[in-house]
Structure 1
Amino acid sequence: MTSRIVSASTTIPAPAEVVFAILADPRQHARIDGSGTVRGQVTGPERLELDSRFGMEMKMLGLPYKTGNRVVEFEEDRLIAWRHVGQHRWRYELEPVEGGTRVTESWDYSRYHAVGAKALELLGYRQRNRQGIEATLVRLSEAAQADAAG
């Protein structure tokens, strides 16, 4: 059985509080999205916290749709994760390190029943999300460096 968590990490040359401020602001998610699916915020607070609910405008395979999300894990400047209707979670873990912040982004679909998880895999979500995560980390680094500079 494969792990039902897809993740990647990078070190961003910016303080954790700068990186976290971007992640905790759903209005900035389109700014850092490397998957090309996030189009903009529909509803929700300007700053997320545990149990915050927010909606996003999305587009995949040319089709627009909206998602509903709830923040299910939260530790200021260290951890934030939100859950979609499908029970999968997008998680960002931040660790201060010399020269900046080590950020690990994960797509966790471990809460799916085996059949649902297999369907996601057959539809290519593992690979698509791995590529999106890698690109998002690049964009998050660029955004955090720009915000830290000024």
Structure 2
Amino acid sequence: MNDDHAVIDGRTVTASTVVAAPPAEVFALLANPHRHHEFDGSGTVRGATSGPQRLALGDRFGMDMKITLPYRITNRVVEFEQDRLIGWCHPAKAIWRYELEPVDGGTRITETFDYAGSPVAWGIELFGMQKGNAKSIRDTLRRLVTIFGAPA
């Protein structure tokens, strides 16, 4: 793992790693909601209930989730640049963003949880959820390294 810690800065939580795969290959996984459970480090994503096989800007997709109790959530793709950037949010308006940058030997993946625009940001902070998201981001990035391998 390239950066072994997540940085909490204002109302964003960010961490990065480098994997041994080209951006297009990483993007293909991130843009398929039916595979999100494969790399989710939070342990809350159970599987997609709706949505296309390949996401595009404005697409909606439903996910089966579980935090103590099972529930469903609908997300919408709000940021999209083929093979470089994808971000989605649910009704609380927090964005989960993945930025991809080609580097020697693979791709730098930067994951960000951005809750600056969320009307419930105060609750996220009150309950310390940003700290839990920092751990989940680190665990997600570790899973992506397991999937794609680390550069030599």
Normalising to structure 1: TM-score of the pair?
Answer: 0.91
CA deviations on 1:76-96 (whole Å, 9 max, x unpaired) are 100000011100000000000
Q: 2:18 aligns with which of 4, 11, 16?
A: 11
The amino acid that maps onto 1:48 is L
Q: Which runs of 4+ in 1 moved over 2 A?
A: none
* Alignment partner of 1:41 is 2:45: no
Which one of 109, 112, 117 corresponds to residue 111 of structure 1? Answer: 117
Aligned 8 A contact 1:20 1:77 in 2? yes
SS at match of 1:128: helix
Aligned to 2:138: 134
Superposed displacement of residue 122, structure 1: 1.8
| Counterpart among 47, 65, 69 of residue 71 in structure 2 | 65
Counterpart-to-counterpart distance in 1, 2:10 and 2:101: 23
Q: Which amino acid aligns with 1:106?
A: T
Give unmatched runs, 5+ long, in structure 1: 146-150
TM-score (norm 2): 0.89
Residues 106-149 of structure 1, C-alpha deviation per residue, up to 9 Å, x if partnerless?
00000024xx322211212111100000000111122234xxxx
Percent of aligned pairs sharing the same letter: 53
Contact 1:22 1:144 in 2 (8 A): no
CA contact (8 A) 1:95 1:103 kept: yes
Partner of 1:88 in structure 2? 94
1:50 aligned counterpart, secondary structure: coil
Matched residues in 1 for 2:116 and 2:80: separation? 19
Count of matched residue positions in the alignment of Structure 1 and Structure 2: 142
Which residue identity is paired with 2:44?
A: T
Higher-helix-fraction structure = 1
User: Residue in 1 aligned with 2:6?
Assistant: none
RMSD over aligned Cα, in angstroms? 1.3
Greater Cα shift, 122-131 or 88-97? 122-131
Q: In the alignment, does 2:130 pair up with 1:123? A: no
Q: Does 75-84 or 136-145 show the bigger shift?
A: 136-145
